[in-house]
Every structure is written in C-alpha cells, then in structure tokens.
C-alpha cells in the first residue's frame, strides 16, 4: 500500500462517525464470555424459581420460599442490567406458561418478565446517548394496528369476548398483550438493542434449547419412559390424543417450535467448527424432525416442507442440511405412500375430511361475518361467539356441525371478522413492510458473520413458516411462536440497517435526517 493510500484510509477512518460507549457496543472476548455466563446463571435461576414454585405447598417450606425470593431478586437485577437476559427470561416464561401456574404471584410470570424486558431495553437505550435507530414506517404501522385493537376492545359490541358457550370469558387485554403487544415490542427491541453477535448467539442457543426440550418430550411421549416427562399433562391429559403436544399442549405450537429449532440447528452447524458441537447440533436436527412428524398435523408438515424447499433455494452455505432433510422426508413419504395418503390420522394419513370440513365452514362463517360488518368488524376476540350464534355451512355436502363454536382457523380471516377490513389492512401493512425489509436484507447483506445474510434467511424462514401455519390457525393464540418470529425479524432488520449505515459515507442524509451511528458494531 502506498503512503498516499494509507493516509487516505487513515483519514477516512478518522472521519467515520464513531459510536459512543454504551451497553451495546462491541464486546471483547472476555466481556462476551461474561455476558454468556450471566445469561446462563439467569436461566438457571429461572429454572430454580419455577421448580420452587412447583414444590411449594405450605408453611413448612419457608426456607425454600426465602431461597426462591432471593433467586427472583437476582433475576430482576440481572434482567434489568442486560436486555439479552431479560428477553431470554421472557421466552422461558412464555414457554412454560401452562406448566408453571401463577399461584401466589401478583401476575403471570410472563407478564412480570415482559415488564423486565421493557425496563431493561429502556435503560439500555437511555444509556446509548440517543444513538438508537429511529422508529420508522414499520413501527408506525404497528402503532396504528395496536390502537385499532385497543379501540375495538373499548367500544361496546353485540357479542361478548368468550370461548364456546358455557366457557370462561376471554380477557381481551391479555389477548392483545400476547397476540400483538409482546411480538411488536420484541421486534423493536430486537431491531434497537440486539446489535452484538454474542447477544444473537445467546438468543439462538436459548431458543434451540427450548426446541430440543420440546423434541425430547415429544419423542418420549411415544417411546417412553413417560415417567420422566414434565409437565405431566403431556402424558396424563393431552389436548390431542395420539399427537406430540409438547409443553404447549398443542401439536401446532409444538411443531412450529421444533421447525424453528431445526432451522437454527442447521444454521449454527454451518457456523460451528467444533466437532462435539456439530454432533450435538446434528442430533437436535434429527430430534426436531422426528418430533415434527409425531405431531401428525398436516399444517405443521406443510410448513416444514415449505421451509425445506426455501432453505435449499435461499440457504447459501446451508443448503446441504436442508437438502438432506428434504430428501429424507421425500423418501419416507414415498415408502409409506399408501398410509400417508390414507384417512387414518393416527397412522399419519392426511386425507381425513373432518378437519377440511371444519375449515370450509369456518371460511363460510368468516365471509358472512365480514359482509355483515365490513369496516370495524364484530369486535376483538369475538370470532368464537360469531361462530356460535351465526355459524354458516359451506355446502350441503359439508355437515353443518363441523367447525361449530371454535376459534378461527385462518389468521387473516379471523382478523377481518373481529377488526374489520380496516384492521386487516393495517395488519397486512405491517406484514408487507417487514417482509420487504427482510427480502431486501437477504439480497443485500454479505454472507460473512453470524448476524449477516444467514441470520436474515433464518428470520425470513421463520416468518414464512409462521404465515403458513396461519392459514389453519389464528396466530394471535400462539404467543411463544409470535414472540420468537418477530424478535428474530427485528434483529435481522436491525443488522441490515447497521450494514447499510456502515456502507454509507459519513454525512450522507436519508429522508432529510442525518443517520446516526448505530449503537453497536459487532
């Protein structure tokens, strides 16, 4: 390099805007290790608190109560000091929401954990000295959609927000919190706070660990020993007999998480060089695929097939893993085609007509309801009531009783019934804006580190599989999956913006506003 070239490079480096020290600046190796240790300790404490809550039965456990309280305080301190830790604790709370009751607590653990995420992210952004990414069109569309949800909850409606006749009323505030607020907030947190490769790595391994647990209990449910399975309702009182229900006690939620686990494992295997780690990740991929099969749920199988095909097309560097899984699945279907194409759902058949009739009658009811109240809809969380008192029949050869008095089996139609075409338009605006940013990131980011193009492909695959599942279920009920999908999408968008800012010369403006240096650079 000539002296002139070296001097020019030094001058450019000096003129490049530097990010001020903050909580999300690039970590040295020892600092990154400390963050991983802190996250691990927080997770261990969370598990201890949950186990303590299960064991507590009376005043004879005063000592255990004191220990659990001390662990809870440590969790609060650790979560507030690290947004990564706070987010991991929230995901754990959502994952074990059914397994760990909120007895004796002022609120459900996931609500307390979500408050910790908001507090921790607020502290981190405040300490970043105004260098956090600015809110844009996506966040504005999210805000409008959220306001429309809240307005629908406030305005009186003809029908009550309840489950089928005789069941308890749906708490609308909680429905909005888990189905809309938490996913959107995690998108913003992911975009604004998760700027370090070490943070993303901790998150991916945390989600992978939960997926591996789901795969383990799913396999053990069919192969045993069932005595070691926890939570016990997986064995004693599953919502769906003969299917892998998992911790969520539902095959759709369970299958969706295991598909995510498979994608993460394949991606991390591509980035890993340690043999032991690659063996571990390979074992998780096989377990997740087996667990997905054991759900015996056509929507989950379809979602996996779409992910495998897209992984082969988009997964530069990781195509081999997706191609091998796609080949194995295709060979398995071909070898058992007569069973696979049969109507015996317990044996894995996919041509059973009952579920199809449920969907057809649900579609007929949705179209009728939208035509009756097209703009503002029937009110949030009212689909089940509409489907109880105004249930429609798709055709004369479809039994009228099929799909009666159940929640929506199509996400967008359910939103249109409850929030009207205005609410549906706002929701689609959010999806289109985020989808555009993810697709742009896949096309422009380099395939270099952990948080570049590969992570964006993972985020895009998550969003696609989530939307595929949404063609057969109302996604607002899948709280854990929604949280993970939107969090990873936010992280991917944030990393794309970081790369764009690094490529833009200093002083260049966008939308008449000088783009500030991102918070982190790792």
Q: What are the DSSP calls for 389-435, one per residue?
A: HS---S-TTS-TTTTTT---SSHHHHHHHHHHHHHHHHHHHHHHHHH
Exposure class string for 279-311: b at 16+ Cβ within 10 A, else e = ebbeebbebbbbbbbbbbbbbbbbbbbbbbebb
Specify whether the CB–CB gap between 355 and 401 falls below 8 A: no
Handedness of CA 497, 499, 504, 505 (dihedral sign): positive
Average pLDDT over residues 430-459: 90
**pLDDT at position 41, please?**
56
- According to the model, what pLDDT value does residue 123 have? 84
The pLDDT, as a whole number, for residue 213 is: 97
Q: Domain count of the chain?
A: 1
Query: pLDDT confidence of 246, banded at 50, 70, 90?
Result: very high
91 belongs to a structural domain: yes
The whole-number pLDDT of residue 163 equals: 73
Cβ atoms of residues 167 and 406 within 8 Å: no
pLDDT band at 335 (very low <50, low <70, confident <90, very high): confident
pLDDT interval class at 159 (50, 70, 90):
very high
Q: Is residue 119 part of a domain?
A: yes
Average pLDDT score, the chain:
82
Mean pLDDT confidence for 376-392 = 95
Residue 54's pLDDT band, with cuts at 50, 70 and 90, is very low
Owning domain of residue 44:
30-127
Q: Which DSSP letter does residue 519 get?
A: S
Residue 375 lies in a domain: no
Residues 374 and 418: beta-carbon distance below 8 Å: no
Residue 94 belongs to some domain of the structure: yes
- Residue 272 inside a domain? The answer is no
Put simply, whether the predicted model's pTM sits higher than 0.85 gets the answer no
pLDDT at residue 469 in the model: 95
Please give the helix or strand (H or E) that residue 514 lies within, else none. Answer: strand 513-514
Digit-coded pLDDT (tens) for 191-243: 998 988 889 999 999 999 999 999 999 999 999 899 999 999 999 999 998 89
* 46 vs 323, residue with greater confidence: 323
Residue 519 dihedral angles phi and psi, to the nearest 5°? -70, -40
Residue 14 has pLDDT above 50, yes or no: no
Residue 159 falls inside a structural domain: no
pLDDT for position 24: 38
Task: Look at residue 87 in the predicted model and tell me its pLDDT.
Answer: 93
- The reported pLDDT for the residue numbered 151 is 97
Of all helices (H) and strands (E), which one includes residue 223? helix 197-223
Most confident of 129-133, 173-177, 320-324, 444-448: 173-177
Question: Is residue 97's pLDDT more than 70?
Answer: yes
pLDDT score for 333:
78
Q: Is the pLDDT of residue 401 over 50?
A: yes
* Residue 176 · residue 149 · CB < 8 Å: yes
**53 touches 103 (CB < 8 A):** yes
Q: Do strands 509-510 and 513-514 pair parallel, antiparallel, or not at all (unpaired)?
A: antiparallel
Bigger pLDDT: 16 or 261? 261
CA–CA distance, 167 with 203 (Å, rounded to integer):
37
Q: Which of 128, 188, 203 is nearest to 519 (CA)?
A: 128
Backbone φ and ψ of 162, nearest 5° = -140, 165
Judged against a pLDDT cut of 90, whether residue 6 lies above it is answered with no
- In this structure, is residue 97 part of a structural domain? yes
Buried b (16+ CB within 10 A) or exposed e, 97-121: bebbeeeeeeebbbbbbbebbbebb
Instruction: Kindly report which listed range (165-169, 420-424, 471-475) carries the lowest average pLDDT score.
Output: 165-169
pLDDT at 122 > cutoff 80: yes
Question: What percentage of the chain reaches a pLDDT higher than 90?
Answer: 55
CB-side neighbour CA atoms (13 Å) of 367:
9
Instruction: Please check whether residue 146 is in contact with residue 153, taking contact to mean a CB–CB distance below 8 angstroms.
Output: no
> Would you say 383 and 158 are in contact if contact means Cβ atoms under 8 Å apart?
no
129 vs 56 pLDDT, higher one: 129
CB distance 260 to 465 below 8 Å: yes
| pLDDT above 70 for 514 | no
Supply the DSSP symbol for 165: T
What's the confidence (pLDDT) of residue 224?
85
* Residue 389 placed within a domain: no
């Amino acid at each position: 390099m000539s002296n002139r070239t070296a001097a020019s490079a030094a001058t450019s480096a000096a003129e490049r805007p530097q990010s001020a020290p903050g909580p999300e600046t690039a970590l040295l190796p020892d600092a990154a290790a400390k963050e991983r240790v802190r996250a691990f300790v927080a997770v261990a404490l969370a598990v201890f608190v949950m186990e303590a809550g299960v064991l507590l039965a009376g005043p004879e456990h005063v000592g255990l109560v004191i220990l659990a309280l001390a662990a809870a305080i440590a969790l609060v301190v650790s979560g507030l000091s690290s947004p990564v830790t706070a987010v991991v604790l929230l995901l754990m709370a959502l994952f074990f929401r059914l397994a760990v009751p909120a007895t004796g607590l002022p609120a459900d653990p996931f609500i307390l954990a979500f408050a910790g995420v908001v507090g921790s992210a607020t502290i981190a952004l405040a300490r970043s000295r105004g260098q956090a990414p600015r809110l844009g069109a996506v966040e504005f569309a999210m805000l409008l959609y959220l306001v429309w949800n809240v307005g629908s909850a406030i305005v009186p409606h003809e029908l009550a927000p309840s489950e089928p006749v005789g069941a308890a009323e749906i708490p609308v505030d909680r429905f909005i919190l888990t189905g809309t607020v938490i996913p959107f907030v995690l998108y913003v947190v992911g975009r604004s706070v998760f700027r370090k490769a070490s943070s993303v790595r901790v998150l991916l391994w945390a989600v992978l660990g939960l997926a591996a647990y789901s795969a383990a209990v799913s396999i053990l449910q069919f192969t045993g020993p069932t005595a070691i399975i926890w939570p016990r309702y997986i064995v004693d009182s599953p919502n769906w007999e003969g299917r892998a229900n998992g911790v969520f006690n539902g095959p759709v939620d369970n299958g969706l998480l295991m598909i995510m686990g498979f994608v993460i494992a394949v991606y991390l295997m591509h980035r890993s060089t340690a043999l032991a780690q690659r063996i571990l990740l390979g074992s998780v991929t096989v377990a997740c695929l087996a667990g997905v099969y054991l759900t015996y749920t056509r929507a989950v199988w379809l979602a996996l097939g779409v992910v495998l095909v897209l992984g082969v097309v988009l997964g530069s560097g990781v195509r081999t893993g997706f191609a091998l899984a796609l080949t194995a699945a295709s060979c398995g279907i071909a070898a058992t085609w007569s069973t696979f194409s049969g109507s015996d759902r317990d044996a894995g058949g996919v041509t059973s007509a009952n579920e199809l009739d449920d969907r057809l009658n649900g579609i007929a009811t949705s179209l009728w309801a939208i035509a009756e109240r097209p703009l503002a809809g029937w009110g949030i969380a009212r689909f089940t009531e509409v489907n109880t008192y105004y249930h429609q029949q798709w055709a004369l050869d479809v039994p009228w009783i099929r799909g009666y008095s159940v929640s929506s089996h199509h996400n967008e139609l359910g939103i249109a019934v409850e929030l009207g075409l205005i609410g549906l338009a706002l929701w689609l605006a959010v999806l289109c804006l985020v989808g555009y940013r993810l697709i742009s990131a896949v096309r422009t980011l380099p395939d270099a580190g952990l948080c570049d193009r590969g992570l964006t492909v993972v985020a895009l695959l998550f969003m696609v599989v989530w939307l595929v599942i949404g063609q057969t279920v109302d996604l607002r009920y899948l709280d854990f999956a929604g949280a993970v999908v939107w969090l990873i999408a936010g992280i991917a968008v944030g990393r794309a913006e970081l790369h764009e800012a690094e490529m833009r010369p200093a002083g260049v403006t966008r939308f008449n506003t000088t783009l500030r240096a991102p918070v982190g650079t790792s």
